[in-house]
Amino acid sequence: MTTLDRATVGPDRDGRTARTLPRLVARRGAPRVRREDTLPAIAVAEALGADVVEVDVRRTADGVPVLLHDETLGRLWGDPRRVAEVSWCDVARLGNGLDRIPRLDAVLERLDGCRAALLLRVVDPADALVASRTVSASTWGTRVAWAGTPDALAAVRAALPDADTWMPWESLAVPTAADTADLGPSTLVLDDVFLTSDTVAAAHGLGLAVAVRTVDEPEPVRWAARLGADLVATDDVASARAVLAGGERDGWALHDREPGEEEVATRAQALAHRIAHEVIAFTREHPVGQVSSKRAPGDLVTDVDRAVERLVRARVRAAFPTHGFTGEEYGDAPGDRYRWYLDPVDGTTNLVNGLPWTSMSLCLTRGGRPLVGVVADPWRGEVLEARRGRGAVLRDTPLHLDDTPRALAGAIVSAEFGGHGAWVGLGALVEALAERSCAVRVMGSSTLTIAQVAAGRGVGGCVPAFAPVDHGAAVLLVHEAGGVVLTRSGPVDGFPTEGEPFLVAHPGAADELHAVWSAALGSR
């Protein structure tokens, strides 16, 4: 299955089926103890019992393969140049003592005769070719496997037909023989956000091992072991090994007790708050790079959408490994009665065109009932958050919509298109509101359209079809701020039916606005 033997342990203390104890992959050596991708970090990882030591390989200007994760020397070594533009002699002078950038051949020599295998991660095909030549010419007996980007692994396979390759898998869909035919890997490497029991079963059915990365916290380590992962890549080998030893000794239950809903909601609210601020910083700091279409030419997705979703999935997985998750870009991941819904960038067309009106929506539900929701507005730097039965806040200020009557004259009602076209009835709504001297705004983020009503900005917002990914958090915000959520049949508690048109409103304007909106929908 792989260069590594799989270690099967016996039945747990409850007599259940024997399971395979995952092997540990030390990412970049032991970066929490010594500087990453150096000989001391590799020595510590090997001493801590890592089964595989993963290192990153780049080439110097004169074609020497060295250990370095980044394209430049700035982060770790204080030199802003790209390593590919610097000679080996100059690279060798950086650092001090043993904390220096090592050559790949020195690493092969260091691990010769050790139980740990070496996993070489390459992202550039040119780097991969240089590293392949060094491995091919080496007389040391170190076991070597390869991971990295598809293009780099293809270059390795062309240079070393018998190379042990570990193929990246960035999907919740299960792998098939057709997916792996060209590369012929021994192992699938996937982020923990893509690890499911179905993926593990499918990979094993193809004769492939499964390596999950990056897993540092105790609960996700246990969870990966329970799902049958063959290898766990971690920055903290000692802690991960202690968790696995504890699971082998005490059984593999994730908790001594199942936490109650109140405890889960408290932890989830704190987590969602942290995630929202992290997403604000990430979205503001990362310019849009790749842009592509999904279901239609105007249905855009960017590298920022995907990166934010992966970031959020990873944070949730680390804290709540058994929870289900549904995201806009990567779809459904199975889980227990709790499920998170995420739209990483609501308003992608705005983002692509430089219009600062986008948001992130993250909502936790239990059995379909919303518990916690946050909406992050990167461009105002605002986080609106709500917890069922505990109210809604903006910057720690409670949001409260009283029932004082509000006239539509001089007010604003926000609306959103269905996809990229106006829904039948929108024109009639605009005309009816104009007759009442009420303005309509279509801003391009349905999450913010709803959430702004909770914040008291406008008297209403209407969307042609409810989806928990897009609207779950904002609907909870409106409820908890004292607003009204309505479908054509009247107010609803919780979520509207998926796909159903809905309206949110300030309670003082809800009756009149609902009548106008319902009449417009009836004009179809």
Taking only the tens place, the pLDDT of each residue in 411-428 is: 999 999 876 677 888 999
Please report which helix (H) or strand (E) contains residue 21, including its range: strand 20-21
Q: Please state, rounded to an integer, the average pLDDT across all residues of the chain.
A: 92
**Domain regions of the chain by residue span:** 16-250, 261-398, 412-521
pLDDT value at position 249? 83
Q: In whole angstroms, give the CA distance from residue 386 to residue 393.
A: 6
303-319 and 261-285 helices cross at what angle (nearest 10)? 150
Distance (Å) of CA 431 to CA 136, 233, 397, 435, 437: 74, 59, 36, 6, 10
Q: Are 384 and 451 in contact (CB under 8 A)?
A: yes
State yes or no: pLDDT of 491 exceeds 70. Answer: yes
State yes or no: pLDDT of 323 exceeds 60. Answer: yes
Average pLDDT in the 157-180 region?
96
Query: In the beta sheet, which residues pair with residue 120?
Result: 55, 146
State yes or no: pLDDT of 390 exceeds 60. Answer: yes
The overall pTM is greater than 0.95: no
Taking only the tens place, the pLDDT of each residue in 456-483 is: 999 999 999 999 999 999 999 999 999 9
Which of the four pLDDT bands, split at 50, 70 and 90, describes residue 253? low
pLDDT value at position 11? 35
- Which fold does the domain 261-398 belong to in CATH? Fructose-1,6-Bisphosphatase; Chain A, domain 1 (3.30.540)
Q: In whole angstroms, give the CA distance from residue 470 to residue 348.
A: 12
Q: Which residues contact 287 (CB under 8 A, 6 or more apart)?
A: none
Q: Are 312 and 275 in contact (CB under 8 A)?
A: yes
Give domain 16-250's CATH architecture: Alpha-Beta Barrel (3.20)
Which of the four pLDDT bands, split at 50, 70 and 90, describes residue 254? low
Q: Which residues of 280-310 are buried (b: 16+ CB within 10 A; e: fewer)?
A: bebbeeeebeeeeeeeeeeebbbebbbbbbb
Which of the four pLDDT bands, split at 50, 70 and 90, describes residue 16? very low
Which of the four pLDDT bands, split at 50, 70 and 90, describes residue 364? very high
Tokens linked to 213: 């990365």
pLDDT value at position 15? 38
pLDDT value at position 255? 52
Q: In whole angstroms, give the CA distance from residue 25 to residue 166.
A: 13
Which of the four pLDDT bands, split at 50, 70 and 90, describes residue 17? very low
Q: Which one-letter DSSP state was computed for residue 102?
A: P
- Which fold does the domain 412-521 belong to in CATH? D-Maltodextrin-Binding Protein; domain 2 (3.40.190)
